[in-house]
Structure 1
């Protein structure tokens, strides 16, 4: 039985103290509230943040460091919060709170550092906290307290020393703003039945728990939490644990909801919600209207099978007594794995079959599976520090497809990992500005640096590398090692080497599993150095070699690697359709005689795309693979067809193979009907669209793609009933056919949209076609079509429908409409704060909107940085989106000027994204110099 199931004796002592405190909680909170009301109104009425205490500046002191010292260990919290869902006299939404934490002194110290950010702490006899010794221990008196703003600490200096092995109780009272900043304890607003509703919700990851109550806010500092929420009658309070008591306060229109003690857990997983939401069992919570419309039914139907799958997969029972999932109108992340109270954007949990597309359903099953996977991996066992974040997120990103496949076995979900993880990771990890999966702890300190870790590398590369590990260990050995790892570290924290140790034990206990090196030695090369190899196979000699793959081959890699950018590479492969024995590439190059083949045979490496590497061949083998694709492409597995396309285009971008060879991989698409290869092709061709849609290459490229997609368009037009049969690839067919001008496509979408405008209730467009139809019709129309789309967006009661319309509105070709739309992103009444950056990204993807979006972001940089830059996960996407099309020396000079002009403000969690934008633009400029003309000539010859 894992550590943390029961409260120990010293926690029980604290519990008795808390019982006494609970009796006066309401009175104390009321006093705090009234005290704050009587303070200078100017403090709150005009300020955007609450006032802070003076911050003495002293270099190299403990309070100047972002990591907590190892002197104190939290054991138990008691937190009572009272959110006010109406404005106070100064026009602000606030919450009041009381918090106590029992901690053990590990090393003698006269200093307490506890995280606190943007909280007004009550002053007791000149100090901002009360300290009490437990079990007969006398606590030293507090000498002085202050707030250290940069490192976000409440600093408490003591007159004497705390004693090692002894327990103490730290008590604070505070007031905070219930802001709409999507961080910590915040408010969300929405309209329902013409009435404005306010709810209080949380997002603590990664460093926002300190905005809700003072706490030791590091993932490795786990503790037990007792949460109490005071709230208006008629509202419901939720938290991580099941409520154990609900008390209506006599004489006051409020209720006190007391929740049972949590398991031992990290602060970033704490959650609470006060709302008038309702639910359906298991429990899926959402707005009343959404539940009435049965939008939670699909999530309800898949939750139990996914939980059952993970219980079997981990060989460990679900760790908690309850499982709540809640859909929120305003939420920064896509979802958050709060233990026992998982929070989602509405698009990630709610599904309405009348308006939601098949793609929306697929998103829900993968996101739900991802978050429920965290209930064990990430929550039960947590990383000690954020430098190992990939262990949490990479793992959940890998197994989400296993859980989704179990819930929806006919969807072939496992194959989609190559699109949404492996190929996405390749795009970032081929830059010199990438970083290792597991960074050094000293590289990840500030909240901005922590937020930067929530990126494609941690999620997608982490998933791809763990999938590779599972493949060469076998899934059963991998799962066995995981199960033992979870049992050993339950309710605690770990580092990546702990996982390697338990996977190695599983290998050692399994006959027939032979590895060339230990799991540690193999995997450390994949996680402790950035990048990945391109494996080159010469089928004339059997020589197999590896080299660090970079999009800019001559770029200088500043980050040193103890492994010299060499990997231990597991290679699964086939020879002319026959699967061969796996081999390992353990050095720069080696001769593998089985890979030497005759002229009528071909070799395909990285079978089923099980490994995290690209593959190149000698020219003869490339030619034979192309011939096989054109004669009978189905001999090659579907995911490997996508791999060939993606590898070829990126090898050409890196000047390893000729660009015309890469373009030739698309010729067989005339015969392709599967979604994954088409999606892989379009991602790479979209890169070409971005490069060439302002040059003479664009016309010839359009003509070629029109010829290639026409058979697919006609095929699905023939076999589907009015284009409503659900095939992912027929959405591609419709979208690409319209964008390239296939006869009848644009007319079809415009006619559907026109009929919808004439009679919205009766002429609704099929959900699977809406994204394409909305975009094409708005692009072809003017203000009338745009304004109608905007009206439908404002009326949308299903979040997935609102997203389709919000994206489509960016498709217009009318500049003044795009500029007006950009201005809307700074008005939360029109575009929610959670959606502002993605809306700008949609506009930037429009060739006409891109320069407008770039100018807009530069002109309002201070605003966006203040709102999103210091800790938001989505901020890096804003920089990426508005610079994605950059490929000229002038645009590069603009980027560098932007970097220089805003150096003082900074780039926060977008710092790395800006570096990557400069690197990508530099590489494109150089590539275009030698490849633009050959590309033009090839498209001209093939489109004739």
Structure 2
């Protein structure tokens, strides 16, 4: 049949309006898929033979298909003597389904094979089977790759595109000679190919790949192009087998892939040892693409991702770039087990033992993002700490993930880790800080509660029980509970099924503390209707005895409130090591004592405690549970702090506060002075150069200080960065601009310069030496004060920037053009949140509501509601705390004689 073009639809035959899953009549067992790719015409065509098991008597077959021209449909069964064509066929663009009606009733328990031919245009949409571009000898070239998560396999071939419906795949790729074909499995043959139906011109080849294990459709991957590769291997510590590891890229990036390959080689044996489960595929490739929607994707056996996620010039790139590549590669490798081998189920009846779900799908019961959270914790923390202990990743997690999770989960428009998601429009929106960061934080809390060794033993038990199969989150909790000898199922239920997190209010009386839990909201005390959840909370109370030594009482709070005996004459603090997913509110007097203790050189409270304290005090004062001046006092007391990560927490919170008060000139200028007073002494101490002998901590603190002082308009820092940039323009030698300070340098010279600096940074953007240099240049192009240059950047963003980069450019969203351009991928929610990030009045919120009134917001309504919540929380903070903030800063300024 011929599929109607996008935007048209034919009637659905007897499908209920609330039906979001395919019928249960049949399920796929195996796909033999052949794809012919023509990189000259930018088209592809294919054929697929799908082995089906008939589960119910039926004469109809329904499967997913989108943007494909489908033809030559037929079915065969054991009882049919020859292939049978459908008597009717229709397609619905809204549900992306094809409906076939056959003259024969297929009996339950029988087998069938559906054959379909199809073709389609290749596009640059970064979803489905799409093309990416690069430049060779001054000419634009094309290559192809796939991005099927969450629901885009249907754009590449007819399929049952739901995560529960695992099947095996035999993939064959036909392409022009001189190109490389890649897929999930190794190639088992490759030879010249001739056929009368081939496009004219040039020679062709055919590549056949080995059969995959059972896998979900969103993990299928294939690619074709002029790729080069570098290669290594690792030896399995469990079996002794040697597996090849490769990284593929185009010629312009292949020289920057050594670091990503080395990370993969190091982490694979560590995962095998921790899980006690061997990596099951014969190889693991990584393909780097110039055009890629998300950061990276865990296709089984063929990880894919953007250049900034995997490319690194080891001679030029700084610590942050190294961290990004290492954690991204490790995160995706973690998914090879947690998501690819074992995939979560969502059928609650017939398919309970066969259905699978990763982190997406039309869910009922709910979608769960535990797999993302696990890959975040495992890939970015537990494994990274073993490879790069100097990075202090357990502590960095608090700033990078826990703080983000609590910030988003403090909104009424939040969502649970397990969330109902019946509508395809909602799926891409779930890839947010709650999916990655809250899920990871809850797992980190559980790991600390049972101890990491027990946690990993429980994960191993879970994986072994569900190899190549399905599971629900309860299965994971049972595995960890079995290892720990505790009721983990009961403990974890509300953490994953309910939105929000607790605020613990601590009061003191007569040798004891009283602890009460309520839901924390950024707008202040929660109303009764929003305050019904009782969480099981590890309190982890740190205190000192008469000997002055630290002790930690690990108490699980299971009730609304509890009184705990404690000697309050000595220092104490809840949430020791900041492993708990909650905030703690003390009396002002106790907060002062904790802050004073935390600021001591040899405090009983460690760096993680200081990080958690900073984040808590700012969040609580911003929500009206205290004065913002108390948070500023804490920062003032921590001026002598030496740890980079504590300074990172200070920077993030002071930066957020400054952005809220940007429309109050008095507060804005005073906050700039305060920030400059924090950072400039560090710049004076650390300088502008980055010798290799410096520790990672020292390099990152120097970067933070220079960027912070420059953003605060510190004249001598502006002068130094401007001088270094001018020397680069004069000589062409950029060695004085270390990778770590490229962003600060470009933003500073454009902000305080003119046309010459703007054009120079734009030239860097167009021909960068590294992907991170290009990202830094984007920041520079968005920094001019000159309205003409701002307009030029906005025009460039709208007309010339790659789709994958637009979210980096966004400073304001003013046109539906962006909606039309990005509604098919994962970036739209980020465009909304970034566009309105710094608005902070009720009038702003009303303007946004009026702008979107009557428009289709289904693909970003969650992000829009979260953004409106944020704006209104900022407006309340401004109304409540402006006098407090200004008075404190004025008093400080006079004392500092500024």
TM-score, normalization by structure 2: 0.91
Q: 1:303 to 1:894 in 2, by over 3 A?
A: same
Q: Name the counterpart of 1:408.
A: 388
Tell me, yes or no, if structure 1 residue 248 matches structure 2 residue 192. yes
Cα separation, 1, equivalents of 2:695 and 2:767 = 27
Deviation at residue 459 of structure 1 after TM alignment: 0.8
Tell me, yes or no, if structure 1 residue 836 matches structure 2 residue 806. yes
In terms of mean alpha carbon deviation, does 312-321 or 703-712 score higher?
A: 703-712
Aligned length: 847
Q: Verify the 8 A CA contact 1:707 1:943 in the aligned structure 2.
A: no
Cα separation, 2, equivalents of 1:569 and 1:637 = 21
Alignment partner for residue 393 of structure 1, among 353, 362, 372?
372
Q: Verify the 8 A CA contact 1:53 1:146 in the aligned structure 2.
A: no
Alignment partner for residue 298 of structure 2, among 315, 327, 337?
337
Q: Verify the 8 A CA contact 1:644 1:665 in the aligned structure 2.
A: no
Q: 1:51 to 1:721 in 2, by over 3 A?
A: closer
Cα separation, 1, equivalents of 2:677 and 2:869 = 34
Cα separation, 2, equivalents of 1:557 and 1:382 = 37
Q: 1:99 to 1:275 in 2, by over 3 A?
A: same
Instruction: Name the SS of the counterpart of 1:580 in structure 2.
Output: strand
Tell me, yes or no, if structure 1 residue 648 matches structure 2 residue 627. no
Instruction: Name the SS of the counterpart of 2:418 in structure 1.
Output: coil
Q: Name the counterpart of 1:285.
A: 248
Q: 1:407 to 1:728 in 2, by over 3 A?
A: same
Cα separation, 2, equivalents of 1:758 and 1:725 = 32
Deviation at residue 722 of structure 1 after TM alignment: 12
In terms of mean alpha carbon deviation, does 740-749 or 648-657 score higher?
A: 740-749
Cα separation, 2, equivalents of 1:135 and 1:309 = 51
Cα separation, 2, equivalents of 1:467 and 1:722 = 33
Q: Verify the 8 A CA contact 1:573 1:581 in the aligned structure 2.
A: yes
Deviation at residue 762 of structure 1 after TM alignment: 5.8
Q: 1:409 to 1:762 in 2, by over 3 A?
A: closer
Q: 1:762 to 1:874 in 2, by over 3 A?
A: closer
Cα separation, 2, equivalents of 1:877 and 1:634 = 40
Deviation at residue 480 of structure 1 after TM alignment: 1.5
TM-score, normalization by structure 1: 0.87
Cα separation, 2, equivalents of 1:637 and 1:471 = 16
Residues 765-817 of structure 1, C-alpha deviations (whole Å, 9 max, x = no match): 21122111111111110111001110111111421211111122111111121
Residues 690-739 of structure 1, C-alpha deviations (whole Å, 9 max, x = no match): 11122111111122222222332222129966998752111111111222
Deviation at residue 105 of structure 1 after TM alignment: 1.0
Q: 1:833 to 1:557 in 2, by over 3 A?
A: farther
Cα separation, 1, equivalents of 2:49 and 2:468 = 21
Cα separation, 2, equivalents of 1:446 and 1:872 = 15
Q: Verify the 8 A CA contact 1:670 1:711 in the aligned structure 2.
A: no
Q: Name the counterpart of 1:877.
A: 830
Q: Name the counterpart of 2:132.
A: 188
Q: Name the counterpart of 1:915.
A: 865
In terms of mean alpha carbon deviation, does 615-624 or 214-223 score higher?
A: 615-624
Residues 543-572 of structure 1, C-alpha deviations (whole Å, 9 max, x = no match): 11111000112565877x8xx211010011
Q: Name the counterpart of 2:459.
A: 482
Instruction: Name the SS of the counterpart of 1:283 in structure 2.
Output: strand
Tell me, yes or no, if structure 1 residue 492 matches structure 2 residue 469. yes
Cα separation, 1, equivalents of 2:508 and 2:431 = 40
Q: 1:815 to 1:269 in 2, by over 3 A?
A: same
Residues 843-865 of structure 1, C-alpha deviations (whole Å, 9 max, x = no match): x2xxxxxxxx2xxx23x21x222
Alignment partner for residue 681 of structure 1, among 640, 650, 660?
650
Q: Name the counterpart of 1:20.
A: none
Tell me, yes or no, if structure 1 residue 435 matches structure 2 residue 415. yes
Alignment partner for residue 448 of structure 1, among 417, 425, 444?
425
Q: 1:52 to 1:542 in 2, by over 3 A?
A: closer
Cα separation, 1, equivalents of 2:563 and 2:18 = 55
Q: Name the counterpart of 1:9.
A: none
In terms of mean alpha carbon deviation, does 200-209 or 445-454 score higher?
A: 445-454
Alignment partner for residue 571 of structure 2, among 581, 602, 613?
602
Q: Verify the 8 A CA contact 1:278 1:285 in the aligned structure 2.
A: yes
Q: Name the counterpart of 1:785.
A: 757
Deviation at residue 633 of structure 1 after TM alignment: 6.4
Instruction: Name the SS of the counterpart of 1:744 in structure 2.
Output: helix
Residues 79-122 of structure 1, C-alpha deviations (whole Å, 9 max, x = no match): 111111113xxxxx211111111110112222211000010112
Residues 392-439 of structure 1, C-alpha deviations (whole Å, 9 max, x = no match): 111101111212222222222222111111100001000000011112
Mapping for residues 202-217 of structure 1, pairs under 5 Å:
202-217=146-161
Q: Name the counterpart of 2:258.
A: 297
Alignment partner for residue 865 of structure 1, among 807, 815, 819?
819
Mapping for residues 497-896 of structure 1, pairs under 5 Å:
497-508=474-485, 515=486, 518-540=487-509, 541-553=512-524, 564-576=532-544, 578-594=550-566, 596-598=567-569, 601-632=570-601, 634-695=603-664, 696-717=666-687, 726=696, 727-742=699-714, 744-761=716-733, 763=735, 765-827=737-799, 830-840=800-810, 844=811, 853=812, 857-858=813-814, 860-861=815-816, 863-869=817-823, 871-896=824-849
Gaps of 5+ in 1: 1-31, 37-42, 44-48, 88-92, 509-514, 845-852
Residues 340-370 of structure 1, C-alpha deviations (whole Å, 9 max, x = no match): 0000111111110233222101101100110
Cα separation, 2, equivalents of 1:258 and 1:782 = 56
Q: 1:422 to 1:375 in 2, by over 3 A?
A: same
Deviation at residue 916 of structure 1 after TM alignment: 1.0
Q: Name the counterpart of 1:469.
A: 446
Tell me, yes or no, if structure 1 residue 71 matches structure 2 residue 25. yes
Tell me, yes or no, if structure 1 residue 326 matches structure 2 residue 287. yes
Deviation at residue 913 of structure 1 after TM alignment: 0.8
Cα separation, 2, equivalents of 1:388 and 1:51 = 28
Q: Name the counterpart of 2:36.
A: 82
Instruction: Name the SS of the counterpart of 1:826 in structure 2.
Output: helix
Tell me, yes or no, if structure 1 residue 257 matches structure 2 residue 229. no
Q: 1:610 to 1:575 in 2, by over 3 A?
A: same
Q: Verify the 8 A CA contact 2:44 2:119 in the aligned structure 1.
A: yes
Alignment partner for residue 235 of structure 1, among 148, 171, 179?
179
Cα separation, 2, equivalents of 1:633 and 1:692 = 35
Q: Verify the 8 A CA contact 1:734 1:772 in the aligned structure 2.
A: yes
Deviation at residue 57 of structure 1 after TM alignment: 5.0
Residues 878-922 of structure 1, C-alpha deviations (whole Å, 9 max, x = no match): 11111111112321221110221xx34x12331101111111212
In terms of mean alpha carbon deviation, does 131-140 or 213-222 score higher?
A: 131-140
In terms of mean alpha carbon deviation, does 518-527 or 156-165 score higher?
A: 156-165
Kindly report the root-mean-square deviation, in angstroms, between the aligned alpha carbons of the 2 structures: 2.2
Q: 1:635 to 1:474 in 2, by over 3 A?
A: closer
Q: Name the counterpart of 1:355.
A: 316
Gaps of 5+ in 2: 196-201, 232-244, 346-356, 361-365
Q: Verify the 8 A CA contact 1:52 1:120 in the aligned structure 2.
A: no
Tell me, yes or no, if structure 1 residue 938 matches structure 2 residue 888. yes
Instruction: Name the SS of the counterpart of 2:29 in structure 1.
Output: strand
Tell me, yes or no, if structure 1 residue 425 matches structure 2 residue 405. yes
In terms of mean alpha carbon deviation, does 268-277 or 830-839 score higher?
A: 830-839
Cα separation, 1, equivalents of 2:96 and 2:778 = 37
Greater helix share, structure number:
1
Q: Name the counterpart of 1:56.
A: 11
Q: 1:142 to 1:763 in 2, by over 3 A?
A: closer
Alignment partner for residue 66 of structure 2, among 110, 117, 121?
117
In terms of mean alpha carbon deviation, does 741-750 or 255-264 score higher?
A: 741-750
